[in-house]
Structure 1
Amino acid sequence: MRLSADHIDWTVHGHRLLDGVSLAVEPGETFGLIGPNGSGKTTLLRVLAGLRKPKRGRVLIDDHPMYAMPQRDIARTIAFVEQQAETLDRIVVREAVALGRTPFLTALQPWSEHDDAIVSRALHDVGMAHLAERLWHTLSGGERQRVHIARALAQQPRILLLDEPTNHLDIRHQLSILQLVRQLPVTVVIALHDLNQAMGCDRIGVMDGGRLVDLGEPEQVLSAERLYRTFGVQVDFLVDPADRRPVMRFRNAL
């Protein structure tokens, strides 16, 4: 499913957080968003998720304006994993993940064994099945993040938006979650802090000062010049001897 933004602006108290952002993410593509803190990545994801209405421009799903779609249809199509999402304290892990099935439940279609199976699979995919009955408030930050990703998977979206989903995870779970996301048969937009992780995306967009300043395949976009201009760092490009892929080593430019 295709997701696109058409000249999106977002302004708060006279401060423009998004400035004329246009992009199109193709069906099945994993699209990475990178940029310095405060560059507009999270704001753009929230607009793409339908949580904020742009001041100017529009978001389209398969060329259909999002504003014209019923909220339930949006929730059945897009799942969003926020950077610091919260869930009610007095529920267990399985119940938190089951919230992802809410858009599909109606009086004529109540909870079923099919929903149970989807929740169990989502828990298994993020390595949290063994903690399914644990209370939410007893989890670590990394465990909570994995539960939020499981909730998004239980939603069975066609478009998955993730805001720096690996921030609270140890390196093993960072790698497993990113591998899982890349294998999903969905359109993915993922904001990443680690630029080496961004190298695994199909394409990346660089945000800076609320603008999309670069867009393309990682090898083209992540040049020494771009990294210096946007992040203020110098970089050495190395080659991973295991798979011959480029790896970046950063040096302070000051």
Structure 2
Amino acid sequence: MKLCAEHLDWTVHGRKLVDNVNLSIEPGETFGLVGPNGSGKTTLLRLLAGLRKPRAGMVRLDGRPMARLRQRDIAQSVALVEQQADTGERLSVRQAVELGRTPFLSPLRPWSDADERIVNRALDDVEMRHFGDRLWHTLSGGERQRVHIARALAQQPRILLLDEPTNHLDIHHQLSILDLVRRLPITVVIALHDLNQAMDCDRLGVMERGRLVDLGPPTGVLSAERLQRTFGVRADVIDDPLDGRPILRFRQAI
């Protein structure tokens, strides 16, 4: 499914958090959003997910204006994993993930064995099935993050939006979640702080003060000039001795 943003603007108290962003993400692409804190990545993801209506411009899903679609229809195609999301404290892990099936349920289409299998698969994918009966409030920050990702996977979205999905995760689960995301046969938009993790995306967009200031392949976008100007660091691109992939070696900016 193709996702497009056209001249998107979002303003709060006179400050533009998203400023005239134009973006086209192809079906099956893994697109990374990078930028300093406060650059507009989270706001842009919420606009792309249909959770906020832009002050100007529009979002299109396969050419259809998102503003003309029902929220239920959007939720059947698009899932967002936010950095911080609320879940009822008395819910169990399994119940929280089952919420991902809500857009597909109705009086004419009640819960089924197929929904149960989808939820089990989502829990397995994030290594949380054995936590199924645990209550939400007993979970660590990293465990909660994995449950939120499982809930998004249970939606079986065609477009998955993730806002810093590796926050609070230990290195094992960071790597497993990123590997899982890379293997999904869907369109993925992922905001990341770790620029070496971003190097594995098909394309990157760099956000700066609400504007999309650079766009293209990771090795072209994360140039020495861009890293110093936007992130205030110096870095060399080197080949990973294990697999030959390009990685960044950082040095403090002068």
**Is the TM value for this pair above 0.5?**
yes
Matched, 1:240 2:252: no
Shift of 1:229: 0.8
Q: Deviations over 1:13-62 (max 9, x none)?
A: 11111110000110000000000000000000000000110000000000
Q: 3-state DSSP class of the match of 1:179?
A: helix
Aligned twin of 1:31: 31
How many angstroms does 1:253 deviate by? 1.1
1: distance between equivalents of 2:236 and 2:182? 26
* Partner-residue secondary structure (3-state), 1:54: coil
- Distance in 1 (CA, whole Å) between partners of 2:91 and 2:68 is 34
**2:63 maps to which residue?**
63
Give the counterpart letter for 1:47 in structure 2: L
Looking at structure 1, the residues matched to 247 and 201 of structure 2 have their Cα atoms a distance apart, in angstroms, of 14
Question: 1:219 corresponds to which residue?
Answer: 219
For 2:178 and 2:127, the matched residues in 1 are separated by: 13
Distance 1:167 1:249 in 2: 21
Amino acid at match of 1:42: T
Letter in 1 for 2:174: Q
Which residue number in structure 1 is paired with residue 115 of structure 2?
115
Map of 1:137 onto structure 2: 137
Aligned residues: 254
Q: CA deviation at 1:237?
A: 2.1
TM-score (norm. length: structure 1): 0.99
List aligned pairs for 1:14-53, cutoff 5 A. Answer: 14-53=14-53
Q: How far, CA to CA, are the matches of 1:16 and 1:199 in structure 2?
A: 28
Q: Distance in 2 between matches of 1:111 and 1:237?
A: 50
Secondary structure at the aligned position of 1:174 is classed as helix
Specify the SS of the correspondent of 1:122: helix
SS of 2:76 mapped into structure 1? helix
CA distance in 2, matches of 1:215, 1:238: 21
Amino acid at match of 1:187: T
Deviation of 1:238 after TM superposition, in Å, equals: 2.1
- Per-residue CA deviations over 1:77-120 (Å, capped at 9, x if unaligned) read 10000001120000110000000000000000011111110000
Q: Which runs of 5 or more residues in structure 1 are unaligned?
A: none
Give the alignment of 1:123-202 within 5 angstroms. 123-202=123-202
Matched to 1:119, the amino acid is V
Root-mean-square deviation (CA), in Å? 0.7
- Give the deviation of 1:251 after TM superposition: 1.7
Distance 1:182 1:5 in 2: 23
Deviation at 1:236, TM superposition (A): 2.1
d(CA) in 2 for partners of 1:31, 1:186 = 11
CA distance in 1, matches of 2:192, 2:137: 26
Alpha-carbon distance between aligned partners in 2 of 1:61 and 1:77, rounded to the nearest angstrom? 9
Q: Please report the TM-score for the alignment, with normalisation by the length of structure 2.
A: 0.99
CA distance in 2, matches of 1:34, 1:233: 14
Per the TM alignment, residue 185 of structure 1 is displaced from its structure 2 partner at its CA by: 1.1
Alignment partner, residue 86 of structure 1 = 86
Per-residue CA distance 1:154-189 (angstroms, 9 max, x = gap): 000000000000011001100100000011111000
What is the deviation of 1:239? 1.7
Range with bigger deviation, 48-57 or 235-244: 235-244
